[in-house]
Amino acid sequence: MAHNLRDISSFNEEEMDAFLASFDTVLTDCDGVLWIGNTPLEGSVQVINRFKELGKKVFLVSNNCISTVNQYMRKIKKFGLHVTEDEVIIPTLVAISYLKEQNLKKKAYILSSSAMKEMLESSDIICSSDVGPDHAVKNVEEFKAEIQNLDQEVGAVVVDFDANINYIKMMKAVLHLRDPQCLFVAGATDVFVPAEDVTVIGPGCFISTIEMLSGRKAVVAGKPGSLIKDFISKRHPLNPERTLMIGDSISTDMQLATNCGFQKLLVLSGFSALEDTKEDSTNLPHYYAKTLGHLLPLLPSI
Amino acid sequence: MAHNLRDISSFNEEEMDAFLASFDTVLTDCDGVLWIGNTPLEGSVQVINRFKELGKKVFLVSNNCISTVNQYMRKIKKFGLHVTEDEVIIPTLVAISYLKEQNLKKKAYILSSSAMKEMLESSDIICSSDVGPDHAVKNVEEFKAEIQNLDQEVGAVVVDFDANINYIKMMKAVLHLRDPQCLFVAGATDVFVPAEDVTVIGPGCFISTIEMLSGRKAVVAGKPGSLIKDFISKRHPLNPERTLMIGDSISTDMQLATNCGFQKLLVLSGFSALEDTKEDSTNLPHYYAKTLGHLLPLLPSI
């Protein structure tokens, strides 16, 4: 095992006190850390609630835009997490904030879920496209005609998880991005997405293709993009050294923490395994735990 | 300019004689070499006809499966090319030959054009899927249900240009390929496809994603895969050193020639420019010409 990677659940009281004294803000991933799908992970909710009772500022930082914040709040309440709406961060919020800051006056061409569309529209961003499938074509001539059928009022391309993403939509995104004024925002850039019993192609694969063909680079609203840090900083002063990032993914959560200079706690209840840390020395966590719930018996009670 | 790269249209009579004596088989790409879209390139047809009159064996080797061989033959006849049906090679033919050799008894799940489907079915390969769009889904639950709705009779996945390729189709391909017995064949693996006024995403981008998610590697029926060489060898004995490959693309045509040990002639009427040769020393052509038609005045008349 690489040096300095410490199993937090083996800490004695003194070590736990030093650990708790080392941060005042906690960012935690959700799926794979607090719950898996619709099943909460034992003890994890209590650990987050205890952190809050101990005076820590907590943000839930998910990369999943297929739910609205309102839908997240229903889950959070159901699981007994004491987290408020403004403590929930998803890429949709970061993307909206970026598009507003860039003063987008035109429409957004979106390849995303209906939840993302709903949140963009609630923020007065007009979506050019619908979230269903695009037109089907019979042959190459129809394909060429369809991809040239571009909405001239588009000023931004936004790509996240879109269950109906297809060739025509991707080509339209590429063609919109020929205009250097057209903004380009990616939500999650995950290449694989574990979805309970099956791992599906992540939006990152489609984003890479659009990037390559357009010669453009997307601004990343999700983890591990550091835009998320600026977004949180506007709500709450972040001292990176005194911020703890908890996550189950080395490539998103630990990478975000590396990018931002946060402390890193990897939990093994989700995407990444302990041996994966050997393959990415840049994103080596400071701590690990089998599950977040394993910390509960070690935390001081109030 | 790199050494040994010679402009063939500057050859004197002696050099041209030596060049002509150095090969007895010609493989030539079509689009960008003989024609562009529906417009023949001046003199190129006459050069190919002259090669045949001079006793060379000629094969047209296209990477484009959106036409059937019958459709190619109509174009070939219209342009006055003296080439017969068995001298036209497209990845569809190579894929069919491969699937037959592998003794495919089950269905093929195809992501391709109607032309490719028509040729597969004419060869008694049953296609599991249609060439139009797959079902549209309303949400993630429907997406998950749809991708799990797999035809159990599939024994091969075939991917080429599919104007309606989408997330669901790609995921179904990935899931079929979980079965190590399931064959996996790619037609063209081009990453970019120039289509007259617009460059579109090539099938190679989608194939790469399917390869990454499935952990499988496709057998390549198109250029630059060397399966095409074995396919031609069954029709006509190929002596690689005495075979000239003519093409406009370094990454497909010149790469095929490198893979197979052919002589290489790059024409500058299509995809690649002369300066592109500097970036890929492995696939440096032996000769180049502005267009194939530039050779015509230098060829001996009959």
Contact B198, A144 (CB under 8 A): yes
CATH topology agreement for domains A6-63+224-298 and A103-220:
yes
List chain B pLDDT tens, one digit each, 302 residues: 445 789 999 999 999 999 999 999 999 999 999 999 899 999 999 999 999 999 999 999 999 999 999 999 999 999 999 999 999 999 999 999 999 999 999 999 999 999 999 999 999 999 997 777 667 788 888 999 999 989 999 999 999 999 999 999 999 999 999 999 999 999 999 999 988 789 999 999 999 999 999 999 999 999 999 999 999 999 999 999 999 999 999 999 999 999 999 999 999 999 999 999 999 999 999 999 999 999 999 999 87
Question: What are the structural domain ranges in chain B?
Answer: 6-63+224-298, 103-220
Of the candidates A31, A134, A160, A253, the residue annotated as catalytic is A31
Q: Among candidates A2, A59, A84, A113, which has minimal Cα distance to A229? A: A59
Of the candidates B29, B134, B160, B162, the residue annotated as catalytic is B29
> What digits encode the pLDDT tens for the residues B232-255?
999 999 999 999 999 999 999 999
Binding residues of A: 29, 31, 62-64, 223, 248
Q: What is the pLDDT of residue B134?
A: 67
Q: What is the pLDDT of residue B72?
A: 96
| B209 contacts A199? CB cut-off 8 A | no
| B66 contacts A200? CB cut-off 8 A | no
Alpha carbon of A214 to those of A37, A164, A179, B173: distances in Å? 35, 21, 10, 26
| B212 contacts A209? CB cut-off 8 A | no
Tokens in use for B45?
């047809």
Q: What is the pLDDT of residue A3?
A: 53
Q: Which fold has domain B103-220?
A: Rossmann fold (3.40.50)
Q: Which residues of B touch A139 (CB under 8 A)?
A: 113-114, 163
Of the candidates B31, B134, B160, B162, the residue annotated as catalytic is B31
Amino acid of residue B146: E
> What digits encode the pLDDT tens for the residues B125-153?
999 977 776 677 888 889 999 999 899 99
Chain A interface, mutation test: which of B113, B140, B197, most A Cβ atoms within 10 Å? B140
Chain A interface, mutation test: which of B167, B172, B174, most A Cβ atoms within 10 Å? B167
| Residue whose pair of structure tokens reads 């089998």 in the numeric block | A290
B186 by DSSP, 3-state: which?
strand
Asked about A151 being catalytic, the answer comes back as no
| Average pLDDT of adjacent 10-residue blocks, chain A of 302 residues | 76 96 98 94 97 98 96 96 97 98 97 95 92 77 90 97 94 97 97 87 97 98 96 96 97 97 97 92 95 95 78
| B162 contacts A165? CB cut-off 8 A | no
Q: What is the ipTM of this complex?
A: 0.92
Q: What are phi and psi of A251, to 5 degrees?
A: -75, -20
Binding residues of B for Mg(2+): 29, 31, 248
The class that CATH gives domain A6-63+224-298 is alpha beta
Asked about B29 being catalytic, the answer comes back as yes
Q: What are phi and psi of A180, to 5 degrees?
A: -65, -15
To the nearest whole Å, the CA of B282 is away from the closest chain A CA by 23
